Amino acid sequence: MKTTVAIVGGGWAGMAAAVAAADAGNDVTVLEATRQLGGRARAMSATRPDGVALQLDNGQHILIGAYSQSLALMRRVGLDLPKVLAALPLALPYPDGQGLQTPGWASRLPAPLDALVAIATARGWTWGERLALVRASLAWQRSGFACAPSLTVSGLCSRLPQRVMDELVEPLCVSALNLPASQASAEVFLRVMRDALFGAQAGPWSASSLLLPRLDLSALFPDAAARWLATTHPASGRVLTGARVTTLQPMVSGWRLMGQRDGETFDRTFDAVIWATGAAAASRAMQDASDRSPEATASALHTWATTAAALEFTAITTVYAWGPGVRLTQAMLALRSQAGAPAQFVFDRGQLNPADPSAQGVLAFVISASSGEREALERSVLQQARDQLGLHQLQAIQTVVEKRATFACTPGLQRPEASIAPGLWAAGDYVAGPYPATLEGAVRSGLDAVTRL
């Protein structure tokens, strides 16, 4: 008889767990409270200022070629990677042409040669600055990409020239960990650098390649995973949207889930549960469940809930803007972020989706570790576009502020473990693991939970 597994949450972690659990021969039910899959990486509908409807995302995301598990799962559910992801060589070019860039021919080199060429050809850098970064990268490799857990990225890179810090380390750190280098964990930063600079090729591209979605984030994996489950495992793989779990209760064998869907109550016991919601919702659910659990289980639930509740979070703001005929020199550009100019990156969604007329002229400005009010951030970004890109005709489409976009990946941070109690596991980018709050981190946590069933 198949093991019945409930997966609470249909984001990237939950859908990764669903695919893996179904492939392992389990009977899988995904319970997603909203009507849309994807969690904090999902599609949303919008309208351009000229009245044209279009699909955006609740935040602009980026993957890298080293995201082996995410790319493997996309292939597993039938996605053609070159069609759904635009691959760029490792580069952080600025509008003025300066910054880290990889020549086209070098993008075909295996890691770490492509990264070393990018460093060697960085525009605007002196040879001393380039050599300093090469020496630091090789020193990280010799150390096994390990350091003291208490070290910040600024401490790790204290001997690097200021230009290297400003034009490479800070942008990479804030994009990967959503924190400035002075606050971010060097230990986690090094793990990302290890995979990006020296990692094995996981797909048709180098590990250091930047992969930009051509599809909206729901279509990029969660929706495809749901279709795959319905097609490949029609009798034992189901995805129920609009299914809100209100009660979690341990039973003699398994876990009881109660909730509402389409105005009706559901009440079912499963052999195992993978809880794949955000940290705050998971913490509340575990604390609530502890009140109706025997002492040993209640203690485990309370301890886990307390650890999850202690996490601090940082915001990411994405400002979508449109202008007729607007087109950047490249699909992605780094921006000089400073007071009054908060965005670190801008993406040309028209170049990423050339066949979609609604995407033409649409730009996504990303503010990692953002603070401030939505309207003020939007005004500042539009002024930044005028000052740094010379774009005076842009109009805002929508500004999305994800206040709990990522956990604050600080030195020595204690993250909640995947195992909560017997038969109950957690999945999510905040769960203990090697990666910061990224899509790859979410996917890996879902796969890890399944291995523990």
Q: Read off the pLDDT band of 101 (50, 70, 90).
A: confident
Residue 86: pLDDT above 80?
A: yes
pLDDT digits (tens, 9 = 90+) for 220-244: 999 999 999 999 999 999 999 999 9
Count of helices and strands (H, E) across the chain: 16, 21
DSSP annotation of 338 reads: B
Arithmetic mean of pLDDT over the chain: 92
pLDDT classification of 168: cutoffs 50, 70, 90: confident
Out of 7-16, 172-181, 266-275, least confident range: 172-181
Residue 203 has pLDDT above 70, yes or no: no
Measured distance CA(260)–CA(435) in Å, rounded: 34
pLDDT at 91 over 90: no
CA 359 – CA 353 distance, rounded (Å): 6
- Of the candidates 147, 252, 246, 251, the one whose C-alpha atom is nearest the C-alpha of residue 193 is 147
Q: Per-residue pLDDT averaged across 430-450, rounded?
A: 95
306 DSSP assignment? H
Residue 106 has pLDDT above 60, yes or no: no
What does the pLDDT average to over 158-162?
A: 94
Cα separation, 315 vs 402, whole angstroms: 5
The answer to which of 19-28, 99-108, 207-216, 260-269 has the lowest mean pLDDT is 99-108
- What pLDDT sits at residue 109? 63
Q: Give the pLDDT score at 184.
A: 96
Give the DSSP H or E segment for 281. helix 279-290
Tokens 């279009």 locate to 54
pLDDT of residue 445: 97
pLDDT greater than 70 at residue 112: no
- CA 311-314-315 angle, to 5 degrees, is 145
Pairing of strands 419-421, 395-407: unpaired
Task: Mean pLDDT check: name the lowest of 129-143, 320-334, 413-427.
Answer: 129-143
**For residue 317, what are the contacts with CB-CB under 8 A and spacing of at least 6?**
342, 366, 367, 370, 374, 377, 399, 400, 401, 402
The DSSP bridge pattern shows strands 264-270 and 313-322 to be unpaired
What average pLDDT does range 153-158 have in this prediction?
A: 96
What percentage of residues in the chain have a pLDDT greater than 90? 78
Q: State residue 232's pLDDT score.
A: 96
C-alpha distances (whole Å) from 283 to each of 163, 379, 431 are: 42, 36, 12
Average pLDDT over every residue of 171-186:
92
Name beta bridge partners: 267.
258
Do 31 and 240 meet the contact criterion of CB atoms below 8 Å apart? yes
Average pLDDT over residues 286-308: 96
Mean pLDDT on 294-316:
96
Q: Helix or strand or coil: residue 175?
A: helix
HSE toward the beta carbon, residue 354, CA cutoff 13 A = 5
pLDDT in tens, 328-372: 999 999 999 999 999 999 999 999 999 999 999 999 999 999 999
Q: Which residues contact 30 (CB under 8 A, 6 or more apart)?
A: 7, 9, 10, 14, 15, 18, 226, 229, 238, 239, 240
Domains of the chain: 4-40+219-311+413-451 (3.50.50.60), 43-85+211-215+313-407 (3.90.660), 93-203 (no CATH)
Q: What percent of the chain has pLDDT over 70?
A: 95
Query: Are the CB atoms for 324 and 412 separated by under 8 Å?
Result: no
